[in-house]
Structure 1
């Protein structure tokens, strides 16, 4: 082979390699959406974002007007409301079965921490039938050894304190180092949920005031060392407002294999 031919071959090889890298770097992103559900004066719907056929995020989209016209406490009525959100029928599957939005117009315990209007976004691993079987004698059952998850399934720094057992949900694991437990105002936080020692839901909690501030928030989440069920689990979560689409997104991001 002549030297000039060798140069052409080398050049073609480099071009092909660069082309391959470019093709690989440009990921094909798709967003699949579920059915809309009426919320406030607007709507909510689930979405799954994927790249090259693999789910990378699952979340909720809220129209801007969904924050208006929400139920308010009245004498003799709590005004608490829940909304079942189905995941998209098409697109890549995830470990999640469904989502439920809980509107807490008066907040909930502990006092001076979560007692302000906020949303609980529950991303459930189990189906609705299994959730209906979740029952406790009292909220203190979360302290019972039968409800304490194995250490490897609890993220570092998280605990399951007494008073967090809720029927049709499970027990709630919190991080005592979170800002709201250090005297700072509650804006958002991330909670893990369990039932009979098994991971059952992920829960971003977001205050109404924080949503109305039109945030551009994202944060890594602590992951347990192991998961009982194989699949891709979140490594981060985000709360964002898009001024162009007038939509809020609350998402579990960076889904990665675990367990």
Structure 2
């Protein structure tokens, strides 16, 4: 698979996002934003990946652990660019892939988890987002890769996570003295002080040590993205998963293993494991480790999360 470096911000992505409707903060059920067009979140199915999942909970009525495994197979029909020009954000109109969608756009799908998986892990739904051209930051994640967002909130809640964007970009506009505040919902992306106050150390609570964010990491319907900048790769040398976490309105709303396409395709099997600890942890269900295993024999990839179960004596297979 050819590799190349995209040397510009992926501004064309903004043209692929439908302008948001006026919204109000809310949750499941009767809020207006929760009834908005959910197609903005992607296809509500992961069938194209032949996806499956498995939950095991260790014995114990009070103190028990979960092992949640998600298995999928890369869809060979997904487009992979052949040239840097296909991912050139200054090309207008943008280059279209064989599926009729610009290479610059993310192909997203999600699936809600059964009740007992939600009760044990806190996971509401899982989104698998394939990015043929990668995405910002420039020079970091600009190769074909997957974002595997594991959401702790519902799709309806995500529909409330809108904002006024920086013109010509898919990024929420930070509040500033000159521009003023964002929308009521948009200000929630930048409510980071609550996360810092919970630890009393200036670090982000319920995130690994040294995690931080920049104002350019707030994305509608996803949240404010944070990761360890000191360990971030360069696009030309990115060869293993990166752990990312998302917040909104001072709460953790998702976590995300992000991994290059090369980790889940090809003639060589691949495995990666990372242990996780969190500053000021108040969410016991957060994973203590995750593991990615790709089998070159079967073509399937399994991402396994281990952590403290919120409810014991529950098992689910699908």
Q: Distance in 2 between matches of 1:117 and 1:189?
A: 14
Who is 1:166 aligned against?
Answer: 219
Q: Which has the higher contact order (CA 8 A, sep 6+)?
A: 2
**Match in the other structure for 1:146:** 191
Q: Provide the secondary structure at the position in 2 that maps to 1:180.
A: coil
TM-score normalised per structure 1: 0.72
Counterpart in 2 of 1:61?
71
Aligned to 1:83: 109
1:225 to 276, 280, 289: 280
CA distance in 2, matches of 1:182, 1:50: 38
Task: Tell me, in whole angstroms, the C-alpha distance in 1 between the residues paired with 2:58 and 2:195.
Answer: 33
Question: 2: distance between equivalents of 1:256 and 1:184?
Answer: 36
Unaligned runs of 5+ in 1: 1-34
Q: Secondary structure at the match of 1:56?
A: strand
Provide the secondary structure at the position in 1 that maps to 2:217: coil
Q: 2:238 maps to which residue?
A: 185
How many corresponding residue pairs? 217
The answer (yes or no) to whether the contact 1:36–1:45 under 8 Å persists in 2 is: no
Q: Using the alignment, how far apart are the partners of 2:172 and 2:105 within structure 1?
A: 24
- CA 1:223–1:256: 2 relative to 1, 3 Å: farther
After TM superposition, the score normalised by the length of structure 2 is 0.60
CA 1:223/1:206 → structure 2, altered by over 3 Å: closer, same or farther? same
Measured on the aligned residues, the alpha-carbon RMSD in Å equals 2.9
Greater strand proportion? 1
Structure 1 pair 126–209 and aligned structure 2 pair: CA distance change class (3 A): same
Q: Is 1:158–1:175's contact at 8 Å kept on the other side of the alignment? A: yes
Structure 2, unmatched stretches of 5+, are 1-43, 87-94, 97-101, 166-170, 176-186, 200-204, 311-318
For the residue of structure 2 that corresponds to 1:150, the secondary structure is helix
CA contact (8 A) 1:146 1:197 kept: yes
- Rg bigger for which structure? 1
How big is the shift at 1:140?
5.1
- Residue 235 (structure 1) shift: 1.0
Change (3 A) 1:179 1:194: closer
Does the C-alpha gap of structure 1 residues 241 and 181 become closer, same or farther in structure 2, counting only changes over 3 Å? closer
Report deviation, 1:51: 2.2
Change (3 A) 1:103 1:243: closer
2:51 is paired with a residue whose SS is strand
In 1, distance between residues paired with 2:296 and 2:263?
15
CA, structure 1 residues 105+49, in 2 after alignment: closer, same or farther (shift >3 Å)? Answer: farther
Whether the 8 Å contact between 2:149 and 2:257 is mirrored in structure 1 is: yes
